[in-house]
Structure 1
Amino acid sequence: MIVAGCDVGSLTAEAVILKDSQVLTSKIMGVRATAEKSAMCVMDLALAQAGLKYSDIDACYSTGYGRQAIPFSQKNISEISCHGMGAYWADNSIRTIVDIGGQDCKVISIDENGLVQEFIMNDKCAAGTGRCLEVLAKALDVELHELGPLSQKARKPISLTNKCSIFMELEVMQHVYKKRKARDIAAGINNAVAKRVASLSRSVPLKPNFAITGGVSKNVGVVSRMEKLLGVNFTPLTVDPQIIGALGAAIFAQKENGNHD
C-alpha cells in the first residue's frame, strides 16, 4: 500500500510517501505563492524521487495551514493530530511534543496510541516561532541556519527584554549598532525564543519522553536552551523532525484506508 501526506505551512511545505508502512521518500521546500502551488510542487518532487505518479498513491491526506486547498488530498487533518501521530510513529515512547513552526508553536500531550490528549497553542504572537527567528536573523545580518551554531560560541549572551517580536527586532538592531558580538546576540535571540516556548510548555502536563518537531527543531541553540529551562532531554527522532506533520498525515491515511500497522 502506498500513501502520502502533505503539510503546507506558513514558511515551508513537506511531502512524505509511505510504502508498506516505511518512509519511501520525503521532501521539504519553501512555500510558493499559494498553498495549492506549494503542495503540487513539493509532491511532484517527492513522486519524482520515488519514481511514482499521482495515480500510484492509494490515499493522500493533508495538514497545515494550507490543508484545505490541496487538490489531490482526500482528507485534511489538524496539524496538532498529525504531529502527535507522526512523532509517535517515529518513536512510540514519545508522550510530549513541542512543535515550533513558522507561524505558531504548540505543545502536545499524546496517549499510548499517539492520539492527542491535551495541547496548547500560541498563534496570537510571532514571538516564539520560526518567523520570529527569521526576522531577528535578518536584523543580525546572518542566515537563519547560522543562528544555532553561532549562538553556541557565545561568551556573554545579550538579554532581550521585550516579548513582542517587533520590539525584539529593534533591540537586536540596537545591539548591532553598539557592536556587540554577533555570537552573543545570536545566543540572546535563541534564549528569548526558547524562554517563550518553555513558558507555554508548562501549561500542559509534561510527560516523558519528549520530542521537538518543526523547522526550529534544527536550531541547536533553541533546543539546548529549552532542555535546560524545562529540565528535559528531547529524544532524537528516526526521521527529519521537520517532516513530522506530513508523516502524521500519511499515517492517518494508512490507518483509515485498510492498513492498520
Structure 2
Amino acid sequence: VFVESDIMSYLAQGKKIEDILGGVHSAIAARTISLVRRVGIEPEVTFTGGVSRNPGMVKALEEKLGTKLNVSPDSHFVGALGASLFALERALKGAERRPQESAPAQA
C-alpha cells in the first residue's frame, strides 16, 4: 500500500517511470539480500523463477551483491520442474508401499 502511494506520488511529481521502477527494483533487491544473508550467500549465485526473467531485477541484485548472477533462459520453468520431480518421487514411493495385486486363482 505504501509503495503504491509512493509510486503515485512520484508519477504526480513528473518523475520518469524508468527511474521509479529502478527504485522499486533496488528496494526489492535490498530486502531480498538482507533476508538471504541470514542463511548465507555463496560466491556463485543462481537466480531462478519467473522474476529472473526481469532484467531490471537481475541488474539490481547483481549491483547489490557485487557479482554476476547465473540466469538460465529457461529459469522460469525451475519451479514447475521441481514440483513435477517431487510428484514423481511421491508417486514412486506410493507405488512401493502398495501391496502387489495377486494373480487371479486358476481353476
Give the TM-score band, short-chain normalised: 0.7 to 0.9
Q: Which one of the candidate residues 197, 201, 205 is aligned to 2:36?
A: 201
DSSP-derived class of the 1:179 partner? coil
Give unpaired runs (5+ residues) of structure 2.
94-107
Q: CA deviation at 1:210?
A: 1.5
Matched, 1:245 2:79: yes
- 1:170 CA displacement: 0.6
Amino acid in the other structure paired with 1:183 = E
Quote the offset at 1:256 in angstroms. 6.8
- The 5 A counterparts of 1:1-261 are 166-237=1-72, 240-252=74-86, 253=88, 257=92
TM-score by length of 1: 0.32
Aligned residues: 92
Q: 1:208 and 1:189, CA in 2 relative to 1: closer, same or farther beyond 3 A?
A: same
**Measured at CA, do residues 220 and 179 of structure 1 come closer, stay the same or move farther in structure 2, by a change above 3 Å?**
same
Q: Give the CA deviation at 1:248.
A: 1.3
Structure 1 residues 257 and 208, CA, compared in 2 at 3 Å: closer, same or farther?
A: farther
Q: Secondary structure at the match of 1:185?
A: helix
Which residue identity lines up with residue 241 of structure 1 in the other structure?
A: S
Scaled by the length of structure 2, the TM-score of the pair is 0.73
Does the residue aligned with 1:205 lie in a helix, a strand or coil? coil
The Cα of 1:168 is off from its aligned counterpart by 1.2
Shift of 1:254: 5.8
Q: Which has more helix, going by share of residues?
A: 2
Percent identical:
36
Shift of 1:233: 2.0
Give 2:103's aligned residue: none
Larger CA Rg, structure 1 vs 2: 2
CA distance in 1, matches of 2:91, 2:39: 29
What amino acid does structure 2 have at the position aligned with 1:244? V
